[in-house]
Every structure is written in C-alpha cells, then in structure tokens.
C-alpha cells in the first residue's frame, strides 16, 4: 500500500539513540536527561495509597480538582499570579502531550511558528504534522544570546505562535526579565500566541528567579505555559505534567485534549496532590541540583572539554574543539564507544545541523557516577 509520511525526515530521537548506544557499550549515560536516583519515598507511598484505595476510574477531564488547587497555590507562591483552577489549568500526560496538543489546537496548515534553536526536539514535528511551517531563529555558541529585533524581523502576517523555553534545554541558559519584556513588546497588538516550555522551572541556580510568562500579565493573555512533574519529582517515567493558560485559550485546548487523552491516570494525580501539600520538595530543588552542578564542575576541572555555564536545567554544554574536529554526532558516538561516556550532540537541535562543536552532558546523577564520568572525561 502506498502511504505518504507526514514526517518523512523524522527518525528515532537522539535520546533513544544515545541511550541505546550507552547500554550497548556499557558507557556511563549522561545523554538522555533523567535522574539515576529514585523519586521521593513519601510520594511513592502516597500514590500507592490511592491505587490501593481504589482511585482507579476516570477522573475529571481537566484533572483531579485537589491537584489543580495545589498547583494554583504553588503558582501563586512562585509567581504571585492567581490562576482559576477550574478554567485555566489542565493536567496532561507529560509536557510532550501538552506541547503537542497546544500546537494542534492553534496551528493550522500554512501558519508559521517561530522556534528558537537549538530547540527541544518535539516542537518541530508537532508543527509539521498539522501542516504548520517552523521558522528557525538560530542562537550561536558560546553566548547563545537572543536578539529580539532579529526575531521581530521573522514575524509575518502568517506568524501564529512563538515557542520559548526557559530554563533552556539543551543550552542551560535562562531568559531574563528583559527578554520577557521584549517578547511582550514584540507581540503587543498582534494575534501571536506564545507557547512557553517551562518544564525546568525549579531547576534554576545562583539565586535567580524563574522568569515565567505567568509573571507578566499582558504577556500571559496570549500565552500557554507547560510544566512536567517528571523534572520536579525525579520521575520522568510517570509522564505527567500540566498546562496553564487564560480561560479563552484553555477552552480551545481542552476541546482537543478531551479527544486525544480525556483524563490522565487517576491515582498518580491524587498522590501528587497530597505530596504538594508540603512545598519543601520543590523549594529545595534549586539547591539540590546546584550542588550536583557544582560537584560535576569540580570533577571536570582539568578536562580538555570546555564548560559553558549552566544557569538552569540539569544539563551543561561542553566545547570539545580542543580535542577533535569531528562533527558532534561522530564525536558523541566515539566518546561513548571508546571513552565510556554518552552525551548528546547539540547539532541535532538545529534544523540546519549547525556545528558549534558542543555536546550536552546531564548532571542529574549521583556523585559516584558523576565522579566516574569526570575521571573518564579528564583522560581524553
């Protein structure tokens, strides 16, 4: 039978490819972003309690009310912004589903969506599958500074959406208040929506504040902000997240969400709602991961890999140009096979395949593993 692929250029994600290569060669896996330690015991017990007590049937489409209320309280505490739990927040099957559904809801064939590259890999296929046109704005190593005037120059009458990501995967930088102000000015008076990927909202270091779109009332009127419990509670496999948007946008989002997911698994939502009663778990996260970042930084001292600063996320970029001229995908493969450490080559996050000789390493790992990886990397 003759079928026409909607995504003819899409293969297996780099995360699956590099994790499989790490497993095959018994390498330390600092590629795909996930912790090598477990989520909190108390959270597992709370989830288990609801499973055992029979919270096993459909829950409301928007999510368990108690969970939405706890999240509204969290948002209020973190951003000072007050969200309506009934109309402005929806629990999703991870951030990926929230992003996909948001794009499918608002982007139509021929619409343009501005992406800031290097960009997390799920945005572009979601745009293309609905017939939208991704317009890439390239950030350049080592500073990766956004020039908002250049982004403004990409705006046309077809621009439907701009996607931002802060803290940023893979570069580990955060947007500042001036960036959000510039975005607010750029979109003022237009019909452009902002899709803001904020899954690393709590992984932010050196005392900085997370600059969420929720902090900017004018900007929020055109924004959808996406979050993931996987990053916050060290359980990437649970695939639960949420999306926050003003009611008129959320109303449209839910029309699509109810027919591709309806409701997300029940007992996990009840368990997370209980766990969120104590804000300690997320308030301590910046410190927890900052220590890991700093520990990893120390173990890498003396390596020929040159570190970029990581202001947020659990990733750090390293420049390998002192070691090799190879393309980053080749270098990352060789590093895995010959030196026993798996990484992610940054060129895969650029449509153009731009080569800045950078790899991404994940420091969401126990100190013994980071120490072992550092030892191997210092020897290269």
**Residue 265 lies near ligand GLN (rule: CB under 6 A):** no
What the block records as the tokens of 3 is 């079928």
- Residue 230 interacts, among ligand GLN, ligand PMP, none and using kind-specific CB cut-offs from 5 to 8 Å, with ligand PMP
Q: Are 323 and 277 in contact (CB under 8 A)?
A: no
- What is the DSSP secondary-structure string of 136-153? EEE--TTT----HHHHHH
**Residue 15 lies near ligand GLN (rule: CB under 6 A):** yes
Report the residue number, 34 or 296, with the smaller CB distance to ligand PMP. Answer: 34
What the block records as the tokens of 333 is 């493969």
Report the residue number, 239 or 365, with the smaller CB distance to ligand PMP. Answer: 239
Q: Are 173 and 144 in contact (CB under 8 A)?
A: yes
User: Which of 13, 69, 236, 324 contacts ligand PMP by CB under 6 A?
Assistant: 236
What's phi and psi for 136, nearest 5 deg?
Answer: -95, 135
Q: Are 239 and 255 in contact (CB under 8 A)?
A: no
- What is the DSSP secondary-structure string of 31-64? SS---SSPPPHHHHHHHHHHHHTT--S---TT--
User: Which of 63, 118, 134, 241 contacts ligand PMP by CB under 6 A?
Assistant: 241
Q: 9 Cβ partners below 8 Å, 6+ apart?
A: none
**Residue 94 lies near ligand PMP (rule: CB under 6 A):** yes
User: Which of 29, 90, 96, 166 contacts ligand PMP by CB under 6 A?
Assistant: 96
Report the residue number, 116 or 370, with the smaller CB distance to ligand PMP. Answer: 116
Q: Are 71 and 276 in contact (CB under 8 A)?
A: yes
**Residue 92 lies near ligand GLN (rule: CB under 6 A):** no
Q: How far is CA 180 from the centre of its chain?
A: 18
Beta bridge mates, 28: 341
Report the residue number, 35 or 230, with the smaller CB distance to ligand PMP. Answer: 230
User: Which of 29, 97, 169, 336 contacts ligand GLN by CB under 6 A?
Assistant: 169
- Residue 32 interacts, among ligand GLN, ligand PMP, none and using kind-specific CB cut-offs from 5 to 8 Å, with ligand GLN
Minimal distance, residue 177 CB to ligand PMP, in Å: 21
- Of 12, 13, 27, nearest in space to 334 by CA: 27
Give the interface segment with ligand PMP, choosing from 92-100, 136-144, 216-224, 265-273 (CB under 6 A): 92-100
Q: 2 Cβ partners below 8 Å, 6+ apart?
A: none
**Residue 32 lies near ligand GLN (rule: CB under 6 A):** yes
Query: Which residue bears the tokens 């989830």?
Result: 47
State the DSSP code for 326. S
**Residue 33 lies near ligand GLN (rule: CB under 6 A):** yes
- Residue 81 interacts, among ligand GLN, ligand PMP, none and using kind-specific CB cut-offs from 5 to 8 Å, with none
Give the interface segment with ligand PMP, choosing from 40-48, 74-82, 178-186, 234-242 (CB under 6 A): 234-242
State the DSSP code for 304. S
Q: Tell me which residues in 200-229 interact with ligand PMP (CB under 6 A).
A: 228
Count, residues near ligand GLN per rule CB under 6 A: 5
Q: Are strands 89-92 and 112-117 parallel, antiparallel or unpaired?
A: unpaired
Give the span between the Cα atoms of 268 and 221, in whole angstroms. Answer: 30
Count, residues near ligand PMP per rule CB under 6 A: 14
- Residue 233 interacts, among ligand PMP, ligand GLN, none and using kind-specific CB cut-offs from 5 to 8 Å, with none
- Of 341, 324, 337, 330, nearest in space to 375 by CA: 341
**Residue 197 lies near ligand PMP (rule: CB under 6 A):** yes
Give the span between the Cα atoms of 223 and 215, in whole angstroms. Answer: 11
Q: Tell me which residues in 153-192 interact with ligand PMP (CB under 6 A).
A: 165, 169
Cα dihedral across residues 167, 314, 332, 26: positive or negative: negative
- Residue 95 interacts, among ligand GLN, ligand PMP, none and using kind-specific CB cut-offs from 5 to 8 Å, with ligand PMP
**Residue 123 lies near ligand PMP (rule: CB under 6 A):** no
**Residue 97 lies near ligand GLN (rule: CB under 6 A):** no
Residues lying near ligand PMP in the complex (CB under 6 A): 33, 94-96, 120, 165, 169, 197, 199, 228, 230, 236, 239, 241
Residues lying near ligand GLN in the complex (CB under 6 A): 13, 15, 32-33, 169
């Amino acid at each position: 039978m003759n079928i026409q692929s909607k995504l003819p250029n899409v293969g297996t994600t780099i995360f699956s490819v590099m994790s499989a290569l790490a497993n095959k060669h018994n390498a330390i896996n600092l590629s795909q972003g996930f912790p090598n330690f477990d989520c909190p015991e108390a959270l597992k017990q709370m989830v288990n309690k609801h499973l055992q007590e029979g919270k096993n049937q459909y829950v409301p489409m928007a999510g368990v009310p108690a969970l939405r209320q706890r999240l509204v309280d969290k948002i209020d505490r973190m951003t000072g912004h007050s969200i309506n739990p009934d109309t402005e927040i929806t629990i999703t099957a991870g951030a990926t589903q929230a992003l996909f559904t948001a794009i499918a809801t608002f982007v139509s064939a021929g619409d343009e969506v501005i992406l800031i590259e290097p960009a997390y890999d799920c945005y572009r296929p979601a745009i293309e599958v609905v017939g939208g046109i991704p317009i890439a704005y390239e950030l350049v190593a080592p500073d990766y500074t956004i020039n908002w005037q250049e982004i403004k120059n990409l705006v046309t009458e077809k621009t439907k959406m701009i996607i931002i990501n802060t803290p940023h995967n893979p570069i580990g930088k955060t947007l500042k208040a001036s960036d959000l102000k510039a975005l607010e000015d750029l979109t003022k008076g237009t019909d452009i929506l902002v899709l803001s990927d904020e899954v690393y909202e709590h992984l932010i270091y050196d005392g900085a504040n997370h600059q969420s779109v929720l902090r900017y009332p004018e900007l929020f009127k055109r924004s959808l902000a996406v979050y993931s419990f996987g990053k916050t509670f060290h359980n990437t496999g649970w695939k639960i997240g949420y999306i926050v948007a003003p009611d008129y946008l959320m109303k449209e989002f839910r029309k699509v969400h109810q027919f591709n997911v309806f409701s997300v698994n029940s007992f996990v939502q009840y368990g997370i709602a209980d766990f969120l009663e104590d804000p300690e778990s997320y308030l301590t996260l910046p410190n927890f991961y900052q220590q890991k970042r700093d520990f990893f930084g120390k173990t890498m001292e003396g390596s020929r890999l040159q570190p970029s600063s990581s202001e947020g996320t659990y990733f750090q970029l390293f420049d390998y140009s002192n070691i090799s001229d190879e393309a980053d995908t080749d270098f990352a493969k060789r590093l895995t096979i010959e030196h026993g450490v798996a990484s992610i080559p940054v060129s895969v996050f650029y449509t153009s395949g731009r080569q800045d000789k950078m790899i991404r390493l994940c420091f969401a790992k126990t100190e013994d593993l980071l120490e072992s990886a550092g030892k191997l990397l210092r020897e290269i």
